[in-house]
Amino acid sequence: MTIATDTARTGPYTGNSTTGSDGTSVFAYTFKAIDEAHLVVTVTTTASGVQVVKTLTTHFTVSGVGDEGGGNVTMVSGQHPLATETITISRDVTKSQPTDLVNRGAVQPETLETALDRGVQMVQDLDEIVDRSVRFAVSANLTSFSPDVPAPVASKVIAINAANTGFELVAEPSASVTAAAASASAAAISATAAEGEATSTAPKYTFSTTTSMADPGTGLLRYNHGTVASVTAIAVDDLTADTGNPDVEAWLKTFDDSTSTIKGWIRLVEPGTPANYAIFNVTAVADNSGWVQLTVVHVDSNGTFGDTDSIRLFFSRTGDKGTTGDTGPTGSTGAAGADGEVSEATSVALAIALG
């Protein structure tokens, strides 16, 4: 019979045994094998990737040898793959030609077919291995590049040389990796510290592009108008978007404590893009259940905030309007005119009044 083009590998199957003596023991292979010794059964530990090739008879038995559709591999007792393992069945035909045809002797067609099958299966086995190998793209220009890999040396890794003409061995970059990891850790600590510092001076909120004046939701802040220069009110939730969503209601309600007409000003800024900001004067605060509404007047802005953008809210209060000062002393009385004398200004005034 002919051999159809197929892949000489089946699996991996996931095991389900807990002790090795229970669970699934029969695993199918779907390619033709002309000798049970040609089958390779590999058990892989999922977490570590460690592979162990099992031994025929000692660890498994085979059925379906010679069948076009393959057969089954049955694990012997105690060898069932665990739930943390996989099992893969492949084929490795011995690279030899055992058929010996006697000159002028009788030749059975089946003998020739088996020999041809063996050759095709060798090609299929090699092709399956090549498909799993690292290789250059078909479009790669290797005119001046040697694909030869140097012999392995402990603590060395393979890299492409500076001339781009081949591979070379270089020192294992463990020190660089360790340093990079330390730098990354330090950067993470710095970022956490910076986040804490920012939170201590300006709580974090998440911007919402919804414009209705209602409770915006936990950690949210929104305008009453889509155009920042036209905004006259801002809804701010009592809970911030900082870790743990701390409640800052008491602080928000102090925004109108000043007795001045302009109670203070707020600055909203996007930390990752500080060029996006908006500044408003605050003239009133309305306390609602779970949120406050700030009455504001636009002062300055640049850029826009997108929906779900992270922003920081800064507030500065205007000083209270001072009390009215005491009335100043009465000015001195002007000099009196001489008896019987009328000043020129008085004469003019009288003349105008009398017509």
Report CA 247 to chain centroid distance, whole Å: 29
Mean pLDDT of the 222-250 span: 96
Q: Which of 181-195, 240-254, 293-307 has the lowest mean pLDDT?
A: 181-195
What are the backbone angles phi and psi of residue 30, rounded to the nearest 5°? -115, 25
In this predicted structure, what is the pLDDT of residue 342?
55
Q: How confident is the model over 185-204, as pLDDT tens digits?
A: 777 777 655 655 555 578 99
Mean pLDDT of the 228-249 span: 96
Q: Which of 56-70, 141-155, 175-189, 311-325 has the lowest mean pLDDT?
A: 175-189
Taking 90 as the threshold, does the pLDDT of residue 176 lie above it? no
In this predicted structure, what is the pLDDT of residue 228?
96
Statement: the pTM of the whole predicted model exceeds 0.85: no
Bin 115: left if φ > 0, else alpha if -120 < ψ < 50, else beta.
alpha
Beta strands in 165-229 (DSSP E): 167-171, 204-208, 220-223
In this predicted structure, what is the pLDDT of residue 131?
77
User: What pairing do the DSSP bridges indicate for beta strands 264-270 and 310-317?
Assistant: antiparallel
Q: How confident is the model over 318-329, as pLDDT tens digits?
A: 887 766 777 778
Domain ranges of the chain: 9-95+110-131, 202-317
Report whether 151 contacts 132 (CB < 8 A). Answer: no
Q: How confident is the model over 52-100, as pLDDT tens digits?
A: 999 999 999 999 998 888 999 999 999 999 999 999 999 998 887 777 7
Which residues touch 217 (CB under 8 Å, ≥6 apart)?
A: 208, 237
Nearest to 27 by CA among 62, 76, 73, 91: 73
Burial class (CB in 10 A: 0-12, 13-18, 19+), 88: middle
Q: Whose structure tokens read 């004398």?
A: 341
User: What pairing do the DSSP bridges indicate for beta strands 71-75 and 26-29?
Assistant: antiparallel
